[in-house]
Chain A
Amino acid sequence: MERKSLLPYLLILPAFAYLLFFVGYPLLQALYLAFTQNGAFSLDTVRRTINDYYFWSAFKDTLAFAAVIIPIQLFLAIVFALLLNKAFKGKDLAIYALVIPLTISDVAGGLIWYSMLSPYGFVNKVLMNIGLISHPIYFFGYQFRSREFLAIVMAEVWRATSIVFIIILAGLQMISKEYIEAAEVFGASYWTRLRRIVFPMLKPSIQSALIIRTLFAMQIFGVVWILAGRDLPVLAGEGFYQLTVIKDYGVASIYALIIAGLSILFGAVYVKFLKAEYLEVMR
């Protein structure tokens, strides 16, 4: 009896310990690297980080990317999911096409959008051949930073809307048809049904999609590194640069800690929402 009750814990233990180690050890190591100098407490590294020209713009750009990209993704994902939740010819094919970007890495996504937006890319060639522009629009290079921002937004919206779409679609499919049919019987219009039934029941899915995208957005790296390099510094990119080029482990660790801090902040919100949802199901 005693052994039987221990079994479920013993089965979970290896995975749990592994995760705790890979989160806990680097966290302690990062704190040590960030706040000590020759074995004693010191804020030198913090000062070095904050005084770096790139620090504040990395902080600002990372949040700006998230603030611009995520609302667009959420809007598109909801529209697509509502449209694709109906039965029609070619539905499966359309869903498959929309989720293809799930398989594409941020690096590849950046390269793919470079083929669209480069001076000799598809968009410029099409616009020039139909006579809308006479010179190519330059999206890349330090002097075109605001357009680089736009190019990265386009690439990320294209690549990572799929994941939001899938979460919302899965949420929609879980809403019982009976509620909607009942509302229909009582003469509720499409918009009323959306507002009163679909959106409230979709709230948990929207919340998880939002938080997951926000957390990944804090780590944005590959697509920015490919399309803009350090023209538009981001937190993960600066951490990578400080580690691999400058070899400043302390400053790089501070960048990792900032990303972790932002994630824990958003993660706490997520867990809170998840608990609320769980209670709703129980009731």
Chain B
Amino acid sequence: MKDETVYTLKKIGFYTVIFTAVAWILIPIIVSFLYGFTSKADYYDPHMVIPHHYTTEYVRVILFTLGAWDGIKNSTIVATLTIIISFILGIPAGYSIAKFVFPGKDTIKLSIIALRMFPIPVMAIPLIILYIRLHLADTLLGVALAHTAMALPFVVLITSSIFSGVSKEYEEAAMVFGLTRLGSFLKITLPLALPGLAAAAMFTFVMSWNEVFVASVLTLTHRTLPAQILSIMAGSSGGAAPDYYKFAAAFIMTLPAMLFIFFARKYLVTMWGITLK
């Protein structure tokens, strides 16, 4: 009887902690989404905790008057370019690390991890000099090239772990039946690795979508979404926007990334577990 009470109390305590943690994460997101659509009068009424009147006005102003829609388009272009370039460069390297044994492999792997640790975003500051010379300043390609440098170590490490998950025997069998190495890669390994690669692409997309420092430094008129929001919102670099615009902006920025990760959620724990080791 007494043991049972202790067990029940423990169970209640356990679920309370879990519930508190989940609420701590979810409440700020729900509140900011709610306030993004709250009418001005309700927001500035101190007694109105849960607002009654809603409007899409602020989201529309942010999108179409203050340039967030262009920001979304620019961010999508930059993120897509980043995926393309970093995969073209990263997949061969990842494949090589996964499938070959060669001298210096550990050193190369370690230096890629070390390069991943390098603060590539802040290097946008000196990089702008080269960009101005090459007419890459204020271009989306320029931002995508810098984002590629940021995402590439991640892509190499993640694709190498995806490829080493594809059994070597399939490829060897294909080569026995007369396919070249490239042929067996294209016909056997790549299709088997596709789901993992799709998840890696989504992560790369979110990485680029969320990046603000590089985008703010390298562009002026062709802003990505975070850079555009930062220049509208931050008090010290532009005019401070009214509160309800800030919440509408948070909604616009957060929703797409959350949807993306929702589709890749199956890979979340394994992916971070692998890459960060």
Contact = CB atoms under 8 A, between A and B. Distances in A.
Interface stretch (B1-9, B18-26, B168-176): B18-26
Nearest to A92: B265
Contacts of B110: 271, 274-275
B36 to A, nearest CB: 8
Contacts of B209: 105
B127 A25 contact: yes
Q: For the complex, would chain B's binding face be called helix, strand, loop or mixed by DSSP majority?
A: helix
A219 B122 CA distance: 7
Nearest to B256: A103
Nearest to B24: A158
B210 interface: yes
Contacts of A112: 28-29, 31-32, 250, 254
A103 B268 CA distance: 11
Contacts of B213: 219, 221-222, 236, 240
A163 B272 contact: yes
Interface residues of B, number: 96
B123 A256 contact: yes
Interface string B168-188: 000000000000000000000
A171 B274 CA distance: 10
Interface stretch (B76-84, B86-94, B189-197): B86-94
Interface stretch (A38-46, A67-75, A181-189, A257-265): A257-265
Nearest to B259: A103
B144 interface: no
A243 B128 CA distance: 10
A7 interface: yes
Contact of A218 (B119, B230, B274): B119
A22 B149 contact: yes
A53 interface: no
A227 to B, nearest CB: 9
Nearest to A236: B122
Interface in A1-59: 5, 7-9, 11-12, 14-16, 18-20, 22-23, 25-27, 29-30, 33
17 contacts: A8-B100, A8-B105, A12-B97, A26-B123, A29-B129, A100-B25, A103-B260, A108-B253, A112-B32, A122-B49, A125-B48, A129-B47, A171-B273, A225-B230, A240-B216, A255-B122, A267-B114
Given A12-B92, A99-B265, A111-B249, 6 more contacts: A102-B268, A103-B261, A112-B31, A122-B35, A167-B273, A208-B276
